[in-house]
Structure 1
Amino acid sequence: MAGSGVVRCTKVGPVLGPKASPQPPKGCRLCGRGAKLVLFATGRCDHSCFYCPISPEKKGVDRAFANERPVRGIDDLLDEARDMKALGAGVTGGDPLKSQKTFSFIQALKENFSPKFHIHLYTRTTDPRLLARAYDAGVDEIRFHWADPRNALALGDAWEVGAEVPVIPGQAEKLKTYIHKMDVAGVTFINLNEFEFSDSNFPALIRRGFLHKDGEPGSLEVEGSETLALDLLDWAKTSLDINLTLHYCSARTKLFTQLVERYKRTATHIARPFEQVTEEGTLLVGEVKDASGKWLPTSPAKARKTKGGRLVEYWPTFDRKPVEITYFGP
């Protein structure tokens, strides 16, 4: 399941060069299993991409989050990783290499779990000093966003070097040029991400004429992105003699595979004996009132049979945010 998550949801396989791996990079495979903690290391970034999906509360601010948990110290990060029994972390931002804390976070994860705890990191930084610090800290896989990978490749083969970029409709030639340059440079993979709307980038995308996929106003996907991605895969198969692996990751993969599987994994590990894990990765707990009117936890089955009982469904996050509350009887 893990290795096929991206391929299954996108309905297409990777384009393989003669020396390329037949699987997505390890970071993707672990994400597909829900085994990767998402470490938002900082909101700081030197660039101003019009499509940046980061919320205003995080953008430009040097604050960190482990999944949904605010990281005020190393213990917060480690607690979140333990709650989900993470096998690795995807370090994102902003640009993670713009914060000194990122290196401490990476070292703490490696030291407290295992040297095999897999770290992949997204960046646009090409500064050789910062890349060397990331390499020495133990980053296993680095993914560049529209940046030159050569300084990272020069550091050695202890990490895997690749790229990850959005497939923006109208930028076919730019994407082809970048794929070719990355292949010549010697990276091992490129992930093509479906272009998406977010709450923060929605106005900018609408102003530029981007539309919701299939004309559905609630759709996260941008019309034309998947079509262009599939065209690029066909182009790479027929027009290039590439040595890298080219993957396409749809918005559905991120939402219905990566996120849901992470929720399921976390819920399974933090569920109390009277709680149930749903197919969506939420937790169900029953509650009944005692003589003083205080809500007490019980099994969902008992709550359903108790007049005045209730069923609480909530996300398996650090704050256990409720999704829905259902009451039974008066």
Structure 2
Amino acid sequence: MVVHLPMATEILPPEEGEAEGCVQCQAGSKLVLFVTGKCHWGCSYCPLSENRRETPDMFANERRCSTWEEVIEEGRAMDATGTGITGGDPMLDLERSLEAIRELKGAFGPNHHIHLYTSIPIDAEVAGRLAEAGLDELRFHLLDLRTTNYVNSITVAADAGITTGVELPCEPDKAEALEQVVRDLCDLPVAFLNLNELEITTGNQTNMDVRGFNLAGGMSAAAEGSAELGQAMKDLAADL
């Protein structure tokens, strides 16, 4: 007997103007490099499991790695066309993140696309070092859903030649704040805004319960109302 299960979520084809990091991720060709678990923000929606929080360990996909050779081996095993560097917050271990970029570019070549997430504002010096190492794309996670502390960071990153964007979870109870972010970003040199469907995981379930979020249903871990709010923000951006 063959049992057919519906897909938990539909993966849509890339749209025009979509970030290159997202295009490759949708194709399943991006290595996920968890460069450090260090993070001091304590976001209520953080999906990380306890064994990843605050750990100094590095993971390539799900493989714990202690050397760059192991990271590269994992990338070769999946024929990675690029790497997404995440955490924790990679900027809390800047030197390791820079080394990761250099090692990956050295192993896979200059066309190996690398993007990195951070919540930490950066200055022109750091932006220059990231660009020199070979970073292709930088995604800022705006704390408190305000652009105020990131205007200079976004500007210097874009000026350094790094494709610069913003990536945020789409929290169903933050519609007004998200709308303001969309409007504010119109005046900044951002190439894209990614709104991720909020997920309820073992790492954030207690906080999500406190905020009154429920699962959207089916096999998805998505929070009810997140996808609908994301579409509303997309429609707003198209009209601005």
- The TM-score with structure 1 as length reference comes to 0.64
Query: Residue by residue, what CA displacement relative to the aligned partner does 1:185-239 show, whole Å, maximum 9, x if unpaired?
Result: 120100111111111101110121101103x5x530100111111111222233x
> Given the alignment of the two structures, is residue 84 of structure 1 paired with residue 81 of structure 2, yes or no?
no
- Residue identity (%): 35
* Matched residue, 1:37: 31
Is the CA contact (8 Å cut-off) linking 2:154 and 2:189 kept in structure 1? Answer: no
Give matches, 1:82-231, under 5 Å: 82-99=76-93, 100-128=95-123, 129-146=125-142, 148-155=150-157, 156-214=159-217, 216=218, 219-231=220-232
Query: Residue by residue, what CA displacement relative to the aligned partner does 1:57-79 show, whole Å, maximum 9, x if unpaired?
Result: 11112211000111101111111
Give matches, 1:45-64, under 5 Å: 45-64=39-58
Q: Secondary structure at the match of 1:45?
A: coil
Structure-1 separation of matches of 2:154 and 2:129: 11
Aligned partner letter, 1:234: D
Structure-2 separation of matches of 1:176 and 1:52: 21
Q: Secondary structure at the match of 1:75?
A: helix
* Matched residue, 1:265: none
Alignment gaps of 5+ in structure 2:
1-9
* Matched residue, 2:7: none
Is the CA contact (8 Å cut-off) linking 1:44 and 1:61 kept in structure 2? Answer: yes
Aligned partner letter, 2:139: R
Q: Secondary structure at the match of 1:139?
A: coil
RMSD of equivalent CA atoms? 1.9
Q: How many residues align?
A: 222
Higher Rg = 1
Structure-2 separation of matches of 1:172 and 1:187: 21
Query: Residue by residue, what CA displacement relative to the aligned partner does 1:152-198 show, whole Å, maximum 9, x if unpaired?
Result: 43242521000110110111111111122222112010011111111
Q: Are the structure 2 counterparts of residues 207 and 151 from structure 1 closer, same or farther at C-alpha, using a change threshold of 3 Å?
A: closer
* Matched residue, 1:302: none
Query: Residue by residue, what CA displacement relative to the aligned partner does 1:22-63 show, whole Å, maximum 9, x if unpaired?
Result: 231111111111111000111111311011111111111221
Q: Secondary structure at the match of 1:227?
A: helix
Is the CA contact (8 Å cut-off) linking 1:211 and 1:223 kept in structure 2? Answer: yes
